[in-house]
Structure 1
Amino acid sequence: MDIKSNSLYNQMQSMSLQAMGNKLPVANGDSIGVGNVGQPNQSTSNFGNMLTDALKNVNDLQKDAGAKKMAFEMGDSNVTLAQVMVASSKSGIALDATVQIRNKFVEAYKEIMSMPV
């Protein structure tokens, strides 16, 4: 991999295209071939928004599990032990996945920061 000023961005964009089957989505639902790689893709979601939504989802799962635990402990007959265990497992798995993603981001950041400019 050759690292230059805009080379890293272009490489990331080309890898993204390869992952999507060499097609760029367009606002009207069609797809554009690889020939338009130099143009930024405005129809895709912002990465920051996607990350924020994912973290909100994990937070919601944690809150739901906590609420179900509290309801079960208080004797609510509408909440079963199975529901509490499933909600707790979902939130635990989501948190573990979030921690692993964070670790990968930190690892990638360290690798990028150690690259010579």
Structure 2
Amino acid sequence: MSSPSIQSALAQMQSLASQAAGQSDKGQQVSTRVGQGGFADELQASIQRINQLQQTANSQAKAFQAGDPSVELNDVMVDMQKASVAFEMGKQVRSRLVTAYKDVMNMQV
């Protein structure tokens, strides 16, 4: 299931893609707002979610190593994989943002 913020982000991206392709009015202002918060807010929230996943995985691993009977090995492994995948996704997003920034900075005006 997709959350409303993801749907809003997808709609915004589709709108921006059509504007970039020249399918919209030429004088129209491009909005960088996504949902109620801006792009920076969404990026910061994503980084916080990645951090939370990593902290949860670390605390689960420490609890398992300490012998906590309520923590199962499969839960620890799943939490560690979630954190790893989220971190890799964050790195990919960062890499693409840097590439996009460099492309914009190298554009002829």
What TM-score does the superposition give when structure 1 sets the normalisation length?
0.66
Structure 1 residue runs of 5 or longer lacking an equivalent are 1-13, 22-33
Pick the aligned partner of 2:104 from 97, 109, 112.
Answer: 112
State the Cα RMSD in Å. 2.8
Give the 3 Å change call, closer, same or farther, for CA 84–101 of structure 1 in structure 2. same
Q: Which has the higher helix share?
A: 2
Per the alignment, residue 25 of structure 1 pairs with none
- Share of identical aligned residues, percent? 32
Deviation per CA, 1:25-58: give whole Å up to 9, x if none: xxxxxxxxx78x8367678321111111110000
Q: Which has the larger radius of gyration?
A: 1
C-alpha distance in structure 2 between counterparts of 1:59 and 1:85, whole Å: 17
Pick the aligned partner of 2:76 from 60, 72, 84.
Answer: 84
Question: Are 1:99 and 2:91 matched, yes or no?
Answer: yes
| 8 A Cα contact 2:16 2:30, kept in partner | no
C-alpha distance in structure 2 between counterparts of 1:67 and 1:75, whole Å: 12
Structure 2 residue runs of 5 or longer lacking an equivalent are 1-11, 19-23
May I ask how many residue pairs the two structures share in their alignment?
91
